[in-house]
Amino acid sequence: MKTPHIAGKEPIISEMNPGEYYWCACGLSKKQPFCDGSHIDSGYGPVKLILTKKKKIAWCVCKHTKKPPFCDATHITLHPYKKIK
């Protein structure tokens, strides 16, 4: 897989409790935004995030962010989601 699968066109925003999380980087997980092991043989692996306090997270679901696992609004530039003026 050369590029990750676009699992969604907008971030998933969640209030997260302290703990260890594994963000899906391949876009194939059925439990977005988290890894379910679907990445096997995709060339991608999950991104580990450890939170020490409760925090609101905008999880990237387009999988093309430059700041994994956080949304950086890259989804706006991706075809077929690009805005038409």
**Is 72 part of any domain?**
yes
**Is 33 part of any domain?**
yes
For residue 1, the model assigns a pLDDT of 83
**Is 5 part of any domain?**
no
**Is 38 part of any domain?**
yes
Tens of each residue's pLDDT in the chain, 85 residues: 899 999 999 999 999 999 999 999 999 999 999 999 999 999 999 999 999 999 999 999 999 999 999 999 999 988 665 554 4
CA distance between the termini of the chain: 32
Q: From the CB of residue 25, how many other CB atoms can be counted at a distance below 10 Å?
A: 22
**Is 57 part of any domain?**
yes
Is there a contact between 71 and 59 (Cβ–Cβ < 8 Å)? yes
**Is 6 part of any domain?**
no
Q: How many domains does the chain have?
A: 1
**Is 4 part of any domain?**
no
Q: Structural domain of residue 58, as residue ranges?
A: 12-77
pTM of the model: 0.89
**Is 7 part of any domain?**
no
